[in-house]
Amino acid sequence: MISGGGTGGHIYPAIAIANAWMEKHPDTEILFVGAEGKMEMQKVPEAGYKIEGLKVAGLQRSLSLANVSFPFKLASSLRKSRQLLADFKPNAVVGVGGYASGPLLFVAQNKGIPTLIQEQNSYAGLTNKLLSKRARRICVAYPGMEEFFPKDRIQVTGNPVRKDILDLKGKSEMAKFHFGLQPDKKVLLILGGSLGARTINQAVLADMVGFEESGYQLLWQCGKYYFQEMSQKVMGSGLKHVYLMEFIREMDLAYAAADVVVSRAGALSVSELSIVGKPVIFIPSPNVAEDHQTKNAMAYVKEIAAVLLKDNHAVGQLKKEVDQLMADESKMDLLSENIKKLARPDAANRIVSALEEIIA
């Protein structure tokens, strides 16, 4: 059983682990467990796996009426977790983080079922920290995670990513054709996550006329929450080289088309960008626990593998950063070369090996 979710940063690694396991053990039955109403309830079935939903919700860190229902949702989720474990009888349970993984792994650990935790970020989430005390193995993407987890159970594996991005050779021309891009113009790929990032969208809106005047074309994933608003503003701008999308499914082609990428610094984005090896400007979200996106990004900036632009400086400064990078091919090459050194393309298989060890 694999549990967790809430964002693409949790869901896609979980699916990558499942896919890698099924390649080695095709007769296995896998059941996902997520949170009702969250994106995993759609994305997991699309990937070909069954999923059960829990009524679990996160505990708000500030005073909120939503916290009143938290104990009841937790109790319901624990009851359903017990029933799912009794019915499915898993050999092991994997938690990929997010509050959806809490009840299932807690019950599994009480029953003595082997559990493995996969932590994507350089700063561990609360759920994973609590569950780590009884987990058999903790797979992490960054060194130095002894601050959060028992040292003897940590294994540095990297973050599992979608298989289609592992090799982008020869895809650039096809990618530009697929998205309707001009073959002779530089491509700036803008990513703010599946739901969108307000600051990144506002920064692009502020500079999109200038980007076109500089000869760039934008492949822009603005996210579900902002698509209608951004569509109206792009349509009213008269610009010809802004290619706006709510969500990009063919990420391998998007990466292949890009000359420079602007992205949040969530764990999945950072791991994917390491593998594709494109020059990247990270704009970390400040609205995450313990500012972990900035910590993710700084791990790369220290290795001269990425550029960091603070969220509160993005509106008004994004074009300056893009122009400086696009004009400096030697820096683009250096960033590309250095970020590839930090890639772990075999992460999913390493996690499968760790899982095999705790089951044996």
Report d(CA 119, CA 140) in Å as an integer. 5
Classify 79 as helix, strand or coil: helix
Question: Of 60-64, 114-118, 322-326, where does mean pLDDT reach its minimum?
Answer: 60-64
Q: Over 90: is that where the pLDDT of 10 sits?
A: no
Q: Render pLDDT for 221-273 as a digit per residue (tens, 0 to 9).
A: 999 899 999 999 999 999 999 999 999 999 999 999 999 999 999 988 999 99
> Which CATH number does the domain housing residue 217 bear?
3.40.50.2000
Q: What percent of the chain has pLDDT over 70?
A: 96
Same domain, residue pair 189 and 313: yes
What residues are designated binding site for UDP-N-acetyl-alpha-D-glucosamine?
7-9, 121, 162, 194, 248, 267-272, 293
Q: Which residue has the tokens 């509106």?
A: 315
CB 158 within 8 A of CB 344: yes
What mean pLDDT, rounded, does the chain reach? 93
Least confident span in 165-169, 303-307, 336-340: 165-169
Q: Are 242 and 123 in the same domain? A: no
pLDDT in tens, 84-129: 999 999 999 999 987 789 999 999 999 999 999 999 988 888 889 9
Mark the binding-site residues, compressed into ranges: 7-9, 121, 162, 194, 248, 267-272, 293
> How much is the average pLDDT of 185-191?
97
User: Which two structure tokens, joined as six digits, stand for 332?
Assistant: 């683009």
Looking at the fold, whether 326 and 350 belong to one and the same domain comes out as: no
Same domain, 267 and 316: yes
Total-model pTM: 0.86
**Tally of structural domains, the chain:** 2
The answer, yes or no, to whether residue 63 has pLDDT greater than 70, is no
209-229: string of b/e by CB count within 10 Å (b at 16+)? eebbeeebbbbbbbbebbbee
- Same domain as 221, residue 193: yes
> Domain range holding 305?
164-341
pLDDT at 58 over 60: no
> Do 261 and 325 fall within a single domain?
yes
